[in-house]
Amino acid sequence: MDEPALRLSVTHQEIRERARVLAREVEPFAAAADEAVDVHAETADALRRSGLAAYVVPSAFGGAEPAPDPLSIAIIREQCMAVSAHLDSLFGMQGVGSYALSMGGADELRREWLPKVAALDAIPAIALTEPEVGSDLRAITTTLLDEGDVLRISGRKSFITNAPVADFVCVLAREGDGYSMALVPAGAAGMTVRSGPDLIAPHIIGEIDFEDVRVPAGHRLGKPGGAFSLMLQTLAVFRVSVAGSAVGLAQAALDEAVRHATGREQFGKPLMSLGSVSQSLALSWAEIEAARALTYRAAALAASDPLAHIAETSMAKVIATETAGRVVDRAVQAMGRFGLVRGSRIERLYRNARPLRVYEGSTEVLLDSLARSLAKRSATS
């Protein structure tokens, strides 16, 4: 893989190298891991040994840095996704699933769970979407009632990553006229978890029913009615890491196509010498470098103030994921019939690229949000 477009600090270079070592360890069984709909044991063991999950947890609770650093996380996900979507998801969801706890949980609750998250001894999930609610989270119907010593949760969540394997779930619910979050441990009375639908790119996903689930009042995350702030903080830190994943996938697809095009002859000369092929791959290279530069810049900005730079991280997510889709499609085209073989690396990359444009803010939803921000900036300039 080429050197990144931006010069990284020594610390970030060291993190990238550790992530590369992890990726090389997982690569021999990555194909099997990416077909798994449960935690792939060898992949989880490799991630656990690497210690990289500690980068999604604050150092006060067993993590690697004072606060999760968006650039560190994006760099790690870039390397993980280049070899395995399952590895990328395992790492990324340790942060996405636990960040509301990191930012809004009581110290006792954080001491109980976050060191386990950092060590990959506990798997978290965050339950936002419902059967009838996707991007419009203000339309959720799951409820939370404060009964003094306990919080009572009722409702249904759908398409929840890690639901079947999670040790705890951070649940978004409506509380009166506002929205709140609470941590629900796996196995809580009244909580039922089922496996979710089969997806084009296999993924650990499930449905959760909450039937008068009661948890201690100390399991509240953040202030009553203040859950949207926690959600925005989560997105501000981790959305740009999806851009990192997309850059890693696009680079892997380009590398695969270039290997094929330089090693195969057509019409008496290397495939790479055909203008239509070489220009397509050269354009892909340029677009990847642009996406990487934007991703690193947005992640670095988010490190200082995530909420203030949510527009930049949204831009990075849009550009990087759309780039990954174009690049992997060109790679398949450049490889011809060999790009169509089910089970090949390029076919796996092709399937894994598509969900990136949907989760953690679809391209269309993010562009609508960016357009509103653009209009506001114009009105105040």
324-350 per-position pLDDT tens digit: 999 999 999 999 989 899 999 999 999
Tokens of 189: 């009375």
SS3 state of residue 96:
helix
pLDDT of 41 over the 80 cut: yes
d(CA 126, CA 86): 17
What pLDDT is stored for residue 5 in this prediction?
47
Q: Which residues does residue 150 pair with via DSSP β-bridges, in sequence order?
A: 216
What pLDDT is stored for residue 136 in this prediction?
85
CA distances from 6 to 3, 46, 163, 373 (A): 8, 28, 37, 27
Helix (H) or strand (E) holding 294: helix 275-304
Pairing of strands 124-127, 168-175: parallel
What pLDDT is stored for residue 274 in this prediction?
75
Residue bearing the bigger pLDDT, 376 or 112: 112
Hey, what amino acid is at 303?
A: A
Helix (H) or strand (E) holding 144: strand 143-146
130-142 per-position pLDDT tens digit: 999 888 888 999 9
d(CA 26, CA 42): 8
Tell me the Ramachandran region of residue 10: left when phi exceeds 0, alpha when psi lies from -120 to 50, beta otherwise: alpha
Q: What is the DSSP code (8-state) at residue 185?
A: E
Average pLDDT over residues 176-194: 96
Question: 90 Cβ partners below 8 Å, 6+ apart?
Answer: 39, 43, 44, 47, 120
Tokens of 82: 């280049």
Tokens of 213: 């689930």
d(CA 314, CA 177): 28
State the burial class of residue 167 (Cβ atoms within 10 Å of its Cβ: 0-12, 13-18, 19+).
middle
What pLDDT is stored for residue 54 in this prediction?
98
Q: Which residues does residue 193 pair with via DSSP β-bridges, in sequence order?
A: 208
What is the b/e burial string over 133-148, where b = at least 16 CB atoms within 10 angstroms of the residue's CB?
A: beeeeeebebebeeee
Give the count of alpha carbons within 13 A of 143, CB side only: 9
207-257 per-position pLDDT tens digit: 999 999 999 999 999 999 999 889 888 988 999 999 999 999 999 999 999
Average pLDDT value over all residues in the chain: 94
Confidence bin at 180 (pLDDT 50/70/90)? very high
3-state secondary structure 2-24: CCCCCCCCHHHHHHHHHHHHHHH
